[in-house]
Amino acid sequence: MFLQLCSFIHWDDIAEDIFSRAANHMMQLHDQSHNEIATAKEFLLHFVGATGKWDSYSFLKVTNEIRAYSLLNFHPERKTFSIHPLVHSWTRTTLDKAESYHSCMDDILGLCIREIQDYDMQLASLRLVSHVDSLIKVFSTNFRWQHANIYHHVGRYAEAKELWILEVENQRRLYREDSLSTLTAMNNLGNAYDRLDQFEEAKNLKVDVLEKRRRLLGEDDLDTVMAMHNLAATYYMLGRFEDAEKLQVDVLEKRRRLLGNDHPETLGAMCNLGLTYHDLEQFEEAAKLHVVVVEKWKQLAGDDHPETLVAMHSLALAYERLGRFNEAEKLKVVVLEKRKKIFGEDHSDTLHAMNNLGDTYYHMGHHVEAEALFFSALERWRKLFGDDHPKTQLVMRNLNITYHALGKQAEAAELKKLLKDVEDALEEDEDHGADSGI
């Protein structure tokens, strides 16, 4: 059955922890939930020992039997399995009840995603997204939430948004407008809007979520505090820094009291408050917070964890505004190198790092190095998001300024014309929308 189930996820990068995480989460569920995943439970229990813990030996025994027939390959350097694409496709055609196998594997992957801790989700998502892509051809009402979470963490925000819209509607239909699960889905949809630069839509959702959580749960409930944290992030993106600061100071105080100084959510609050101090031109206060956050994330998750890199980048921004360009450059170089290694060249976090290091080089007078980074970032932003995306236009402006600094007037003029064409097209779209009542 293992081979048949795996024919519904991607043929490569099939890891034992997909199944072990699913089993661990399954064992924590109440009996009623077990009824909803009966087939997945029956399969996973083959690999659960008498103590209720995952039994790797039993899993290894099954996979070794399949490998003996050359139907499954093991890659020791990655500790993952793969199936030859032809065998993978053929296996699915041999099934009488393909839908039941698909549903079972969907349950297993969904349980796996539920088991992943928030601060590990971004790295885990990079390995799981290809499997979600394979399964999501038939949407699962049980695990659409988890699929959206994966897409969000790999930077596929438009796809995440569409799934969250469906999930908000689903939660409203199943429960009610102000149920806790509906509010969480609304909050997650708001976060997707943030990432797509649709800040007014995000704000409207998040204000609603915060008001309802305050009424239902009280000021000090962690879900209410999370809603404050998320609304503050949207205020920050809207340039409402004083409003963001008020919420963030409150969030940090509550998380320190409720969770302790070293909890990931407390560190997230410190990082965000530091960024707001930066935009309020309180650079010393920002740097002090970011130094603490960097050290704590290194201790908690290691030098290569995405949250460590976010903290390093935030510290670099503060150093830059304090005139400490050499220290900022060193941090940004590390962040870019590690993001390329972890996420690849085309991930939005990598592109942000390229643009930000280019900005540092520009202000240090290293215009040739800045040009190379801006040019590379612009090519990728255009390919991924199009010319009319705000981030694409930002990098266009940065590259245009750099061309002027290098005396490349022809290139600067060409890029300026492209930027004007994009801006004119956007204005025409807005005028058309106003005239048509859209």
- How far apart CA 319 and CA 328 sit, in angstroms, is 6
More confident residue, 87 or 420: 87
109 within domain boundaries: yes
Confidence class of residue 284 from pLDDT cuts 50, 70 and 90? very high
- How far apart CA 83 and CA 217 sit, in angstroms, is 49
Q: What was the pLDDT predicted at 430?
A: 44
Question: Averaged over 17-36, what is the pLDDT?
Answer: 81
- Residue 15: CA atoms inside 13 Å, Cβ hemisphere, count? 19
Query: What secondary structure letter does DSSP report for 54?
Result: B
Q: What was the pLDDT predicted at 16?
A: 93
For the chain, the first-to-last Cα distance in angstroms comes to: 52
Domain count, the chain: 2
Q: What was the pLDDT predicted at 424?
A: 64
Instruction: List the structure tokens of 280.
Output: 């309020």
More confident residue, 357 or 432: 357
Among residues 381, 33, 119, 49, which one has the least CA distance to residue 41?
33
CA dihedral 245, 250, 253, 255 (to 10 degrees): -100
Query: What secondary structure letter does DSSP report for 120?
Result: G
| Residue that finishes a domain, picked among 90, 117, 144 | 117
Confidence class of residue 434 from pLDDT cuts 50, 70 and 90? very low
More confident residue, 432 or 89: 89
> Is pLDDT above 50 for 432?
no
Q: What was the pLDDT predicted at 155?
A: 87
Confidence class of residue 319 from pLDDT cuts 50, 70 and 90? very high
100 within domain boundaries: yes
Please give the residue range of the domain that contains residue 86.
1-117
Kindly provide the b/e burial profile for residues 332-365, where b requires at least 16 CB atoms within 10 angstroms of the residue's own CB: bebbbebbeebbeeebbbbbbbbbbbbbbbbeee
Residue 405 phi, psi dihedral angles, 5° rounding = -65, -30
Residue 228 phi, psi dihedral angles, 5° rounding = -65, -45
| Residue that finishes a domain, picked among 117, 148, 164 | 117
Q: What is the pLDDT of residues 137-151, one digit of tens each?
A: 755 657 888 999 999
Relative orientation angle of helices 264-279 and 306-321, to the nearest 10 degrees:
20
Q: What is the pLDDT of residues 405-416, one digit of tens each?
A: 999 999 999 888
Q: What was the pLDDT predicted at 437?
A: 30
Among residues 148, 135, 219, 222, which one has the least CA distance to residue 186?
148
68 within domain boundaries: yes
Instruction: Give bridge partners of residue 75 from the DSSP assignment.
Output: 80
Q: What was the pLDDT predicted at 236?
A: 95
- Residue 126: CA atoms inside 13 Å, Cβ hemisphere, count? 14
> Is pLDDT above 70 for 199?
yes
Among residues 268, 341, 246, which one has the least CA distance to residue 303?
341
Query: Looking at the chain, how many residues does it have?
Result: 438
Q: What is the pLDDT of residues 369-384, one digit of tens each?
A: 999 999 999 999 888 8
Contact (Cβ atoms closer than 8 angstroms) between residue 136 and residue 8: no
Mean pLDDT of the residues in the chain: 89
125 within domain boundaries: no
Q: How many CB atoms are located within 10 Å of the residue 417 CB? A: 10
Q: What is the pLDDT of residues 93-135, one digit of tens each?
A: 888 888 888 989 999 999 999 999 887 888 899 899 999 999 8
233 within domain boundaries: no
Q: What was the pLDDT predicted at 138?
A: 58
3 within domain boundaries: yes
Query: Which amino acid is it at 381?
Result: W
Confidence class of residue 433 from pLDDT cuts 50, 70 and 90? very low
Q: What is the pLDDT of residues 145-186, one digit of tens each?
A: 899 999 999 889 999 999 999 999 989 988 888 889 999 999
Q: What was the pLDDT predicted at 140?
A: 60
Q: What was the pLDDT predicted at 89?
A: 87
Strand, coil or helix: what is 48? strand
CATH number of the domain within which 431 lies: 1.25.40.10
Confidence class of residue 425 from pLDDT cuts 50, 70 and 90? low
190 within domain boundaries: no
- Strand 80-82 and strand 73-75: the pairing is antiparallel
Q: What is the pLDDT of residues 217-255, one digit of tens each?
A: 999 999 999 999 999 999 999 999 999 999 999 999 999
- How far apart CA 67 and CA 70 sit, in angstroms, is 5
Find how far residue 307's CA is from the centre of its chain.
Answer: 11
47 within domain boundaries: yes
437: left (phi over 0), alpha (psi -120 to 50) or beta: left
- How far apart CA 369 and CA 396 sit, in angstroms, is 16
| Residue that finishes a domain, picked among 117, 150, 181 | 117
Contact (Cβ atoms closer than 8 angstroms) between residue 58 and residue 47: yes
Q: How many CB atoms are located within 10 Å of the residue 164 CB? A: 27
- How far apart CA 2 and CA 191 sit, in angstroms, is 36
Q: What was the pLDDT predicted at 122?
A: 84
